[in-house]
Amino acid sequence: MKKSRFHSKTVRRHTGFVPLPSGEGAGVGKNRSGRSGLTPPLSPPLAGRGTRIGRPAVFLDRDGTLINERGYLSDPRKIVFYPGVFAALRRLRKAGYALVILTNQSGVARGYLTLEKLKAINRYFLRAFARRGVRIDGIYFCPHLPDARCACRKPKPTLALRAARDLGIDLKRSFVIGDQWTDMKLSANLGVPGVLVMTGAGRSVRRKAGPFAAKITSHLRTAVGWVLSRPRFR
Ligand SMILES: [Mg+2]
Ligand SMILES: [Zn+2]
């Protein structure tokens, strides 16, 4: 049942997706039809195009957006969540948004942490959120170097499009929240509004990232407030 959630081995080698182990409530083992297996086929995912079926999502950056930016995180004990993160994400869930973390983790390619370590950190993440009543639908990561010309590193839309396909997400009603230029450029590539937060690198990239942002705000909590203040159907 969980197996079918994964993409072909070839794809998985290049891009990470970490579902929560069954029984821990990540909700990634079943599709909306209630049957296990792949989500119903959607039209080919293209940047800027949504499928009217499916839920809206908020694509969340990790470092500098949800947690303190700490260089290349390799130890879950060093994770420090920003204040208000859990309550903010609970609000999004309540409003019907899927929650997807998209993260560039070049520390893997740089040898600062192994892929296994990163996956362990991701599992820790999902559990930490689940314990506080927040179900994260998926964590998608790029483990490659910035200059590796891979297909998945943000701001390329690949990870988001994969999540949209896996989880039945309606891109047209979705948002991106992040602290980097890459996050805002990603939002532009997807054709969805991006919210730049001033935590993490936010302040230092404001000039460069601002033009791609639909909204600039102080932190995740206010970003979520803005998302929820938008018209529900665009
Ligand atoms: Mg970041
Ligand atoms: Zn990549």
Q: Where are the domains of the chain?
A: 8-229
Q: What separation in Å is there between the alpha carbon of 144 and the centre of ligand 2?
A: 4
Q: Taking a C-beta distance cutoff of 8 angstroms, is the pair 194, 214 a contact?
A: yes
DSSP secondary structure, 51-117, as one string? -SSSB-EEEE--BTTTB---SS---GGG--BPTTHHHHHHHHHHTT-EEEEEEE-TTTTTTSS-HHH
Q: What separation in Å is there between the alpha carbon of 227 and the centre of ligand 2?
A: 28
Q: What separation in Å is there between the alpha carbon of 12 and the centre of ligand 2?
A: 11
pLDDT tens series, the chain, 234 aa = 444 433 333 334 345 555 443 333 333 333 333 333 333 333 444 434 444 579 999 999 999 999 998 788 888 888 999 999 999 999 999 999 999 999 999 999 999 999 999 999 999 999 999 999 999 999 999 999 999 999 999 999 999 999 999 999 999 999 999 999 999 999 999 999 999 999 999 999 999 999 999 999 999 999 999 999 998 765
| Ligand nearest, relative to CA of residue 178 | 1
Q: What separation in Å is there between the alpha carbon of 200 and the centre of ligand 1?
A: 6
Q: What separation in Å is there between the alpha carbon of 139 and the centre of ligand 2?
A: 14
User: Using CA atoms, how far apart are residues 4 and 7, in angstroms rounded to an integer?
Assistant: 7
| Ligand nearest, relative to CA of residue 142 | 2
Hey, what CATH topology would domain 8-229 get? Rossmann fold (3.40.50)
